[in-house]
Amino acid sequence: MNATQEKLKVQLEQAIVAAFGADFGGVDPILVSASNPKFGDYQANVALSLSKKLAKQPRAIAGAIVEKLDVSEICEPPEIAGPGFINLKLKTAYLEAQLNEIQADPRLGVPAAKTPKREIVDFSSPNIAKEMHVGHLRSTIIGDSIARILEFQGHDVLRLNHVGDWGTQFGMLIAYLREVYPDALTTANALDIGDLVSFYRKAKQRFDTDAAFQETARQEVVRLQAGAEDTLHAWKLLCEQSRQEFQIIYELLDINLTERGESFYNPLLSGVVEDLEKSGLLVENQGAKCVFLEGFTNREGEPLPLIVQKSDGGYNYATTDLASLRYRIQQDQAKRIIYVTDAGQGNHFAQFLQVARKVGWIPDDVELVHVPFGLVLGEDGKKFKTRSGDTVRLRDLLDEAIARAHADLKTRLQEEERQETEEFINEVARVVGISAVKYADLSQNRTSSYIFSYDKMLDFKGNTAPYMLYAYARIQGISRKGDINFKELGNNAVLLEHETELALAKYLLQLDEVISSVEQDLLPNRLCEYLYELSKKFNQFYDRNQGVQVLEAEEPQRTSRLVLCDLTARTLKLGLSLLGIQVLERM
Ligand code: ARG
């Protein structure tokens, strides 16, 4: 068995479990990374936890386990330490063999999922006629990374853009445009998104203050829902206008998405209400159709209803989500549905999912996950805004990141007295700017809010995209300097001697564990931390004082160290690609 078949940690756990014998088959061996490399690489704490149950000293239990423990292919002879820890140290020969093996593997030792699943990632999902905001940026970046990781694992992933393209706001907007700018409803591209947003604002003002206008807007919604041709045509134009704007952002960020907006589920909404009615869960409350929820109460402490059809016959956001959920389970055959939205929508998801569960629409083998994320804050710690207090346009934000990366690069080139073409400068600035924005977002635990800072995200020091990109480019620099083709280094060359080589080697072998943990808990920041640590380990290995010589070393060390360089670069490239970040050969 090897790393590409079974994860190292799992192998060790199984060996320990086998050593306790069948009676303790269900016991967790409590295998953790060693607290100090002096003690080895892993430490099993099971003897301590079994002590009470067996009424024996933990050291005696540890002794009995070690006597039967067979890990001789992987580890040095196990040692018992302190009150009864079992310390395991990986054998150098084992590490060398593993690295030789992953050198030949394009997946770098990460096994593909044994049972690929159909998974849906519902992410980005901006609203038509409104500007995409930083919350949508987070959803887009996090959702894309999750989708990339699942795709890499071999799952069949459907990336869905649940665009807000339906509902009463269109009645309002269309009614308003009919009055003030009818051309916009018949001519393509008559407005740009900025106009659309400001018309939307004015329409909303009118709607809130003018009862007659409210009535006109309602009629317009009815016309839209009934499929009246002119209204439908106007609606399509408005959607198209927004779509073009969203597309600019998606192209800048290299995002692929299938648009399936709320309107798609419109024909299914009445069926949702009918089926809820049949199930007996539906209650009429002041003319509205609703389901009462458990665990949710209003301000007065009374049970909260989830309204699925308003008294005027209109449907809600939740009704659409119920319809889309059924569609995704029945038609798309999804086994896991992942919703990436801000944490503020937590209740919405908990509520409609509770209803779906109650009616029995969710089969046992389907998993539904809301992946919440925190806010993006300005440097003042308040909600991220422009200086004048407006919402920041994403295009401006991305352009600014690129412009700053461009200026930084120019300064650096001057300092280093380097001449580069305009084309090179633009490309590096684009990659660095976009990566910096993505990485700054992904490297935070998504559930927390973070402060958006161009200076921090573009810094070459610290846990940032430029640091990681630089580590990669530095390794490619080694190959250029030594005129070495990493692809032709030959196999079975790895030879580990120096402490920094061993540390790097062990780290390189952990990629599979990290990826499978992100696959489960959907926290891409773990992958970022791993890549950051890896870059640091590489820099120690390559450090003139602490580390080893590479190009200047004698054979066979030289080739072995070049293989370590290549494996590090390939791991960085693969890992970054799973975060949606492109590498640069030179920067
Ligand atoms: N359009 C929503 C928003 O802007 C996000 C939709 C998320 N997906 C869903 N199935 N509800 O907040």
Map residue 354 onto helix, strand or coil. helix
Average pLDDT over the chain, rounded to an integer: 93
Could you read off the pLDDT of 539-562 as tens digits, one per residue?
Answer: 999 999 999 999 999 999 999 999
pLDDT at 504 over 80: yes
Cα(181) to centroid(ligand 1), Å: 29
pLDDT at res. 1: 37
Q: Is the CB of 349 under 6 A from ligand 1?
A: no
The answer to whether position 212 is within a domain reads yes
Cα(99) to centroid(ligand 1), Å: 44
Q: Is the CB of 125 under 6 A from ligand 1?
A: yes
Cα(127) to centroid(ligand 1), Å: 8
pLDDT at res. 2: 42
Instruction: Name the residue at shortest CA distance from atom 5 of ligand 1.
Output: 125
Predicted confidence band at 387 (pLDDT cuts at 50, 70, 90)? Answer: confident
pLDDT mean over 331-346: 98
Q: Which residue has the tokens 């604002």?
A: 201
Cα(136) to centroid(ligand 1), Å: 9
The answer to whether position 174 is within a domain reads yes
The answer to whether position 291 is within a domain reads no
Could you read off the pLDDT of 123-152 as tens digits, one per residue?
Answer: 999 999 888 999 999 999 999 999 999 999
Which helix or strand (DSSP H or E) is residue 282 part of?
A: none
As given in the structure block, the two tokens for residue 257 are 């998405």
The answer to whether position 172 is within a domain reads yes
Could you read off the pLDDT of 240-299 as tens digits, one per residue?
Answer: 989 999 999 999 999 999 999 999 999 999 999 999 999 999 999 999 999 999 999 988
Cα(399) to centroid(ligand 1), Å: 25
pLDDT mean over 526-542: 97
Eight-state DSSP code of residue 128: T
Q: Is the CB of 262 under 6 A from ligand 1?
A: no
Domain that residue 215 falls in: 168-259
pLDDT at res. 5: 43
pLDDT mean over 44-63: 90
User: End of a domain among 259, 291, 321?
Assistant: 259
Q: Is the CB of 94 under 6 A from ligand 1?
A: no
User: End of a domain among 42, 70, 90?
Assistant: 90
The answer to whether position 371 is within a domain reads no
Cα(173) to centroid(ligand 1), Å: 20
Least Cα distance to 473 among 535, 411, 558, 552 occurs for 535
Between 446 and 224, where is the model more confident?
Answer: 446
pLDDT at res. 514: 95
Cα(396) to centroid(ligand 1), Å: 23
Q: Is the CB of 530 under 6 A from ligand 1?
A: no
Task: Indicate which atom in ligand 1 lies nearest the CA of residue 324.
Answer: 10
Predicted confidence band at 122 (pLDDT cuts at 50, 70, 90)? Answer: very high
pLDDT mean over 96-114: 95
Q: Are 515 and 149 in contact (CB under 8 A)?
A: yes
Cα(15) to centroid(ligand 1), Å: 46
Q: Is the CB of 164 under 6 A from ligand 1?
A: yes
**Number of domains within the chain:** 2
Which helix or strand (DSSP H or E) is residue 94 part of?
A: helix 92-103
Pocket test for ligand 1, best of 264, 341, 394 (most atoms within 8 A of CB): 341
* % of residues, the chain, pLDDT over 90: 78
pLDDT at 371 over 90: yes
pLDDT mean over 399-414: 97
Task: Indicate which atom in ligand 1 lies nearest the CA of residue 126.
Answer: 4
The answer to whether position 250 is within a domain reads yes
Q: Which residue has the tokens 């069948």?
A: 22
Cα(248) to centroid(ligand 1), Å: 20
Pairing of strands 283-285, 258-259: unpaired
Between 386 and 325, where is the model more confident?
Answer: 325
- In DSSP terms, 371 is beta-bridged to 340
The answer to whether position 315 is within a domain reads no
Pairing of strands 31-33, 42-44: antiparallel
Map residue 5 onto helix, strand or coil. coil
pLDDT at 391 over 60: yes
CA gap 259, 341 in Å, rounded = 16
pLDDT at res. 72: 93
CATH number at residue 16: 3.30.1360.70
Cα(370) to centroid(ligand 1), Å: 11
pLDDT mean over 561-571: 98
User: End of a domain among 63, 90, 117?
Assistant: 90
The answer to whether position 498 is within a domain reads no
Cα(279) to centroid(ligand 1), Å: 27
**Which segments within 130-253 are labelled E, that is strand?**
156-161
Cα(163) to centroid(ligand 1), Å: 7
Cα(245) to centroid(ligand 1), Å: 18
Burial class (CB in 10 A: 0-12, 13-18, 19+), 76: middle
User: How many helices (H) does the chain have, and how many strands (E)?
Assistant: 20, 14
Q: Is the CB of 501 under 6 A from ligand 1?
A: no
pLDDT at res. 298: 87
Q: Is the CB of 261 under 6 A from ligand 1?
A: no
pLDDT at res. 490: 86
Task: Indicate which atom in ligand 1 lies nearest the CA of residue 164.
Answer: 1
Task: Indicate which atom in ligand 1 lies nearest the CA of residue 122.
Answer: 8
Predicted confidence band at 36 (pLDDT cuts at 50, 70, 90)? Answer: confident
pLDDT at res. 38: 84
Q: Is the CB of 122 under 6 A from ligand 1?
A: yes
Q: Is the CB of 131 under 6 A from ligand 1?
A: no
Q: Is the CB of 321 under 6 A from ligand 1?
A: yes
Least Cα distance to 337 among 347, 346, 348, 328 occurs for 328
Predicted confidence band at 6 (pLDDT cuts at 50, 70, 90)? Answer: low
pTM: 0.93
pLDDT mean over 187-193: 81
Q: Is the CB of 127 under 6 A from ligand 1?
A: yes
Map residue 385 onto helix, strand or coil. coil
